[in-house]
Structure 1
Amino acid sequence: MLKIKNSKKFKKEIKKYRHQHTVISELNKALALLIKGKELPEKYRDHNLEGSWANHRECHIKSDVLPIYFTDKETLYLERIGSHSELF
């Protein structure tokens, strides 16, 4: 099972979703799978990123709520969360 490490930006950005219970619930479901080392279901549209975000992944919690993350052997690193326009 992977440990979770949140970046400072992620901690700041996640606060805007604290009252959106469906977003938090879906994020928790996705994270539960990721920390167990499992692949996300197709509905999350999980994929690799390119360019300055190479070696990172993104999935769709809602149509425009996207966490950016990467993993190593021991840790799931949560880097950012937001809409396409906020992140890119």
Structure 2
Amino acid sequence: MKKFLEVAEKLAHEKPLGPKYRNRRLVGNFKGRWECHIEPGWLLVYLKTDQEIIFERTGTHSDVFK
């Protein structure tokens, strides 16, 4: 949980995530959302608006994209 909170805090304060997080904009069914790797094998999908960040999915690749 600590690693999730570290990522959430960086996103909330608009701090860049380092390359190890592999933060990227998604396409297709997830267009408009972002994905980052909290750890290898632990993904977070989120939506950024001007006023909030909505954490939509977290888990393994197969959990998130099934």
Which structure 2 segments of 5+ residues have no match?
none
TM-score scaled by structure 2? Answer: 0.91
Which structure 1 segments of 5+ residues have no match?
1-23
The count of aligned residue pairs is: 65
1:45 paired residue number: 22
TM-score scaled by structure 1? Answer: 0.70
Please state whether the residue corresponding to 1:85 is helix, strand or coil.
helix
More helix by share: 1
More strand by share: 2
Q: Give runs of ≥4 in structure 1 deviating > 2 Å.
A: none
Larger Rg: 1
- Choose from 32, 52, 67 the match for 2:9: 32
Deviations 1:32-86 (A, max 9, x none): 1100012111111111111100100010011111110011111011001111111
1:84 paired residue number: 61
Alpha-carbon distance in 2 for matches of 1:87, 1:28: 19
Percentage of identical aligned residues: 31
Coordinate RMSD, CA, aligned: 0.8
The one of the two structures with greater contact order (alpha-carbon pairs below 8 A, sep at least 6) is 1
